[in-house]
Amino acid sequence: MTTTVTGPRIDVPAGGSAGTPVIEVVDLVKVYKGGTRAVDEISFSVGEGEFFGFLGPNGAGKTTTIRILATLLLPTSGAARVAGIDVLAHPGEVRKQVGFAMQTVAVDPLATGRENLELIGRLRRVPGPELKARIDELLVLMKLTESQKKIVGTYSGGMKRRLDLASALLHRPRVLFLDEPTEGLDPQSRMALWEELESVNGSGTTMFLTTHYMEEADRLCKRIAIVDEGKIVVEGTPAELKRTVGTDVVELQLEADGPDELERQRVGITQMLDGYEPVAEIKPSPSGVQLYVANAAAAIPELVRRLDGNGVRIGALTMHQPSLDDVFLRYTGKTIREEQANVHFSGWY
């Protein structure tokens, strides 16, 4: 299917939204009472088994979109289908197909971990023996087997997150919605949760995640849409998006016997690379030079060949792609971090 996006769209090859879309959103609009236009004509689609993410600052419309897809909120206009079912016409059928781990961890603090899972499993009509096995399996996956009989009020933040995630997976949903799944977690718990999310996706579940953490979107999502002020600004794989920023960074550390020799090598490098097209810019760094190179992976062999001789001694060569920070900056003209100071309330009533 074809999607209309507001802004540049990068065509996605294999592994993208090819095949039957599991989530289809067309011209979705949500205007809250009071006039806040939280979602402003968003369209996108997510393929079966894909790990898709919305990256954007708080207040960009991520939560509103995910709540509409999870049947918790009615859009002002537009259409959305999840697992082939119209979200507006048959919300009950959609609920059978999806799991939703919300931004605020929703667990019953006065019940045990296992009781929490049993209640949701029974409400979802997972048959008794299967439910027991499924709970055991999820407790292992989420590393909660030891504490399953403890009252959840005694759990740490990370444990509650994992329990919440387990309860969203009990019925083996076809689509899992994750709204800021690692918000408020320490770095260690975040990494652990990322691994768990990857293994859930690995078992075939289509994932739709929202986040304002660059690293999270970069690490987990095969494809992302950058959203800002209710619109999709740009869409593509993290690598593609970063490539649109332009150049990669190649860092050369030089072996030199003193500042003078280092400077002499720098001048040498500048001369040797003069006229070599992929190198857009050369900047001195404390122990060498930084080269801004278009498509560095392809250019490096030739680059290294050109740097042979003239007394240049390369100690180390590292390259990295521009981060999603740079991408966000390029398409919105601001950084996600400065946006976060300006959080505006988007309730659901």
Closest CA to 50 of 211, 209, 273, 244: 209
Minimum separation from the CB atom of position 123 to other proteins (A)? 5
Interface with other proteins, residue 34, by CB under 8 A: no
Identity of the residue, 345 or 349, whose beta carbon is nearer to other proteins in the bound complex: 349
Q: Tokens 């977690």 map to which residue? A: 185
Query: Cα(59)–Cα(39) distance, rounded to whole angstroms?
Result: 10
DSSP class of residue 268 equals H
Contact criterion met (CB below 8 Å) for 299 and 228: no
Verify binding: residue 39, other proteins, rule CB under 8 A: no
Q: Which helix (H) or strand (E) holds 183?
A: none
What residues between 174 and 193 interact with other proteins by CB under 8 A? none
What residues contact residue 275 under an 8 Å CB cut-off, 6+ apart? none
Q: How far is the CB of 105 from other proteins (least distance, A)?
A: 7
Exactly one of 71, 201, 206, 247 binds other proteins (CB under 8 A); which one? 71
70 is a site residue for other proteins (CB under 8 A): yes
Round to whole Å and give the CA distance between 242 and 224.
11
If binding is defined by CB under 8 A, does position 267 make contact with other proteins?
no
- Residue/partner pairs of 111-116 with CB below 8 Å, 24 or more apart: 111/151, 111/152, 112/148, 112/149, 112/150, 112/151, 112/152, 113/139, 113/144, 113/147, 113/148, 113/149, 113/150, 113/152, 113/155, 113/159, 113/163, 114/139, 114/148, 114/149, 116/152, 116/163, 116/167
**Helix, strand or coil for residue 162?**
helix
Which residue number, 155 or 328, has a Cβ lying nearer to other proteins? 155
Q: Which of 117, 126, 103, 185 is nearest to 145 (CA)?
A: 117
Question: Whole-number minimum distance, CB 96 to other proteins, in Å?
Answer: 5
> Scanning residues 86 to 105, which ones bind other proteins (CB under 8 A)?
91-93, 95-96, 98-100, 102-105
Number of residues in the chain? 349
Contact 319, 300 (CB under 8 A): yes
Chain center to CA of 87:
23
Please name the amino acid found at residue 254: L
- Residue 84: CB minimum distance to other proteins, A: 16
Residues 284-323 that bind other proteins (CB under 8 A): none
C-beta of 131 vs 250, nearer to other proteins: 131
- Binding status of residue 78 toward other proteins by CB under 8 A: no
In the set 45, 167, 205, 332, which binds other proteins (CB under 8 A)? 167
Q: Please tell me the count of residues contacting other proteins according to CB under 8 A.
A: 33
- Is 207 a binding residue for other proteins by CB under 8 A? The answer is no
Footprint on residues 131-160 left by other proteins (CB under 8 A): 151
- Closer residue to other proteins (CB): 174 or 266: 174
- CA distances in angstroms from 340 to 53, 54, 102, 212, 253, listed in the order given: 18, 16, 19, 9, 36
CB of 80 or CB of 324, closer to other proteins: 80
Of 39, 42, 73, 293, which lies in the binding site for other proteins, with binding defined by CB under 8 A? 73
Instruction: Report the nearest approach of other proteins to the CB of residue 103 (Å).
Output: 8
Amino acid at 116: N
CB of 184 to other proteins, least distance (A): 13
Verify binding: residue 220, other proteins, rule CB under 8 A.
no
CB of residue 179 to other proteins, shortest distance in Å: 10
Contact 66, 101 (CB under 8 A): no
Q: Which residues within the stretch 107-136 sit at the binding site for other proteins (CB under 8 A)?
A: 107-108, 110-111, 115, 119-120, 122-124
Of 64 and 321, nearer to other proteins (C-beta) is 64
By CB under 8 A, name the binding residues for other proteins.
70-74, 91-93, 95-96, 98-100, 102-108, 110-111, 115, 119-120, 122-124, 151, 164, 167, 348-349
